[in-house]
Amino acid sequence: MLTDLVGLAVRRNPRRAQLLVSSVLGKHLPTDPRVVTDAALRLGVKARAAVTGDAVVLGYAETATALGHLVADAIGAPYLHSTRRVVDGLESAADFFEEHSHATAHRLLPADPAFLARGDTLVLVDDEVITGKTIVNTIRALHKKFPHKHYVVAALVDLRSEADRGRMERSVKRLRATLDVVSLASGEIELPEDLADNGNRLIDTVENLRQLAGVEPTRGQRGEVVQVVATWPRAVPEGGRHGFVPGTAGSYESAVTVTAAAIAGRIPDGPVHILGTEELMYAPLRIASALADRRAAEGRRHEITYSTTTRSPVLAVDDPGYAIRTAITFPSHDAPADGDGPRFAYNLREGAYEAIVLVVDEPADTTALHEEGGLVDQLARLAPRVVVVTVPAFTPEPRHDQPARQLPAPLHGPAFGSYERDDVAWLVKDLPAETSAETPEDEQAQAHRELFDEALTASAQRVAYAIGLVTEQVLARRGQDAVLVSLMRAGTPIGVLMRRWAQRVHGLDLPHYAVSMIRGRGIDQTALAYLAAHHDPARVMFVGGWTGTGAIARELAASVEKSNATLDAHLSSPFSPELAVLADPGRSVAVYGTREDYLIPSACLGSTVSGLVSRAVIDDDRVGPNDFHGAAFHADRSPADVSKRFVDTVAARFPIVRTKVMLDLGAHLGGDHKPTWVGWDAVEDAAEEFGDGDVSLVEAGVDDTVRLLLHGEPARILVNPARDADLGLVKRLAEAREVPLERVSDLPYACVGLRQP
């Protein structure tokens, strides 16, 4: 039965407040390792029956890394799991996002770039399938590079609705592939619409009651800590982060056996718990199983349980009907590129074990692991002995050398760009104007300039207020020596205006740079190296114009993670992927001037409102590996340039809005403005209903919809009747191009545009 496999808990997550707590996964609940292995192998048998031809298996980090490995064992197939780590010398074969997760970005780092091209069938393994959106996102991302004829999804539990099942099948069918889903149990889960809000209120209430009651975690006598360095060959992968092939199984078995023998000599009789760490699940599970087998062979009760630490913050309530009874919280100890947030281990009770064996790999065995309040210290308060076992982290040979980087110098106006020299420094390579593929006629079209004039007249004061509010937030977060780094082109006029606000209101001359970020290629890594060499990365705030679907925020996060890992030895502190924008109607960032969806005047034009600089390009003939991304300065378009006019017109409203900004700032800084990604949910819904499930056909918000109507091939426009006052220009443009409008209530945006397939 489904209830035999999972329980429920509440976590602080705006995307998915409920947590299904598996009783057979060995993640949140201490579990007999033989139960974990048996469930996974049974799932593997079902997956094997669904496979056609040869297969390769992909598991999801962090929860399903061991589950996926065991499914691959049952099939006899090569295995790879996604990861949140960045490894020097290894480029990600593909990235994808799991929006509901506490840590959304996934990277694939196989030692062999063609690893995922193997086999006729790709098997994707996760602990649960609730809607199937993550699975579909993964398949779409991978199918572009590694197409397969057949996809099999294997999960412990399948909770999709009939509508979800239909959407998944249609999405894969459009790729001219087939799909099978197998599970140990299936059903449906019904949740109230206000679960996220009520869940957060419940968590806040419990935490407040604990503070009022003065309840502090008990800190018993500290137990003995024993360190063991495993005799594990470095050539044997400890898991599937870089790929694992069946031919390695014999060496792996030997490594597990030797390690278990070393541990057995250091643990007493009685209950012993084996604790893995985040993605490192398979090796601790196999070690736990080997210890259980040793005790069983000696005729003893094995009394071995297994679980792992996690990033997911879950409310612990010591009630028999609730899945998460206890929790320990500790700092991250593996210097992750995506942030040093807290980590957790659940349902480990004081006095329940004679010993706890903590299994970590070398990158995670840091000072933070052992210091006061760290994981080892907290485990030593729960058990009289803690055995810390460190296994090597298999690191494949780099796929290419990284030459020493000679950093270029930034460009300035008026030699490059039409802004004043102090307004912005361009971290780009100057390319000939003919390199740009932009069409001058589009830029200089009289109709587009008239739209800009109308929008500027209507919203200059609205923009000025939002500029003031977002700049004050940046100063509160980064201090008075903040460094603004705008994502060209849409972010550049916003960055110039933010610099003007800081100068006129506070007398600050903030550095402002414009850098390139290209969809699918990420942010310019040479530009980030330049910034790291000249500024403290902790002071850098990335600046954008608006968020649309939130794709830019996700791409920025992945790029910054990569850069932090690459530049690690040279960074005084890591770059934050935080993005500040003028408008965030999709609720995908925390730093914004407004979440209202209206036409920002600069969205009507391209280079003529962005310093006469083209879109960025990567041209292998003109842009070398140590160059900035390239861009062209269209000086010949100066008669049509309104870049300074836009900035001057908005800045002239600063004195009018300053008082309101300062009055509203306190409430804004004190509120909860975490991203909820409701915009992305709406994009996915629109894609399923109107766009054959392809989210790339959706342009979200007034600004991107206007751009679609001006420059693209629109199929239809979805409009929110409640936001009619902000849709005048959109309706006129749609009518002129004979694009149908469809009224859709409850859109988080004023409108959504769908392009022709």
Verify cis geometry, omega within 30 degrees of 0, for the bond prior to 489.
Answer: yes
pLDDT in the model for residue 602: 87
Residue ranges for the chain with pLDDT beneath 50: 100-103, 337, 399-404, 441-444
Q: Which CATH architecture has domain 33-188?
A: 3-Layer(aba) Sandwich (3.40)
Q: Could you tell me if 608 and 443 are in contact, meaning their C-beta atoms sit under 8 angstroms apart?
A: yes
**DSSP state string for 378-444:** HHHTTSSEEEEEEE----PPPSS--PPP-----B-TTTSSSS-TTT-EE-SEEE-GGG----HHHHT
**DSSP state string for 50-106:** H--SSEEEEE-TTTTHHHHHHHHHHHT--EEE-BS---TT---SEEEE-TTSSS-EE
Amino acid at 348: L
Q: Which CATH architecture has domain 678-755?
A: 2-Layer Sandwich (3.30)
How far apart, in Å, are the Cα atoms of 591 and each of 129, 463, 476? 32, 15, 11
Q: How far apart are CA 128 and CA 105, in angstroms?
A: 18
Q: Could you tell me if 553 and 514 are in contact, meaning their C-beta atoms sit under 8 angstroms apart?
A: no
Q: How far apart are CA 706 and CA 699, in angstroms?
A: 9
- How far from chain centre, in Å, is Cα 583? 20
At the topology level, CATH places domain 224-391 in: Rossmann fold (3.40.50)
Q: How far apart are CA 311 and CA 336, in angstroms?
A: 12
How far apart, in Å, are the Cα atoms of 270 and each of 163, 301, 352? 50, 8, 10
Q: How far apart are CA 268 and CA 354, in angstroms?
A: 7
pTM for the full model? 0.63
Amino acid at 629: H
Domain coordinates in residue numbering, the chain = 33-188, 224-391, 425-670, 678-755
Please state the length of the chain: 757
Report which of 611, 429, 646, 430 is spatially closest to residue 512, judged by C-alpha positions: 611
If DSSP codes are grouped into helix, strand and coil, which group holds residue 222? Answer: coil
Same fold, 33-188 and 678-755: no
pLDDT in the model for residue 81: 94
Helices then strands, each counted (H, E), the chain: 20, 29
pLDDT in the model for residue 679: 87
Q: Could you tell me if 308 and 278 are in contact, meaning their C-beta atoms sit under 8 angstroms apart?
A: yes
Spatial CB neighbours of 356, under 8 Å, sequence gap ≥ 6: 272, 273, 275, 348, 379, 382, 383, 385, 386, 387
Verify cis geometry, omega within 30 degrees of 0, for the bond prior to 62.
Answer: yes
Give the chain's radius of gyration (CA, Å).
27
Count the neighbouring beta carbons within 10 Å of the beta carbon of residue 121: 24
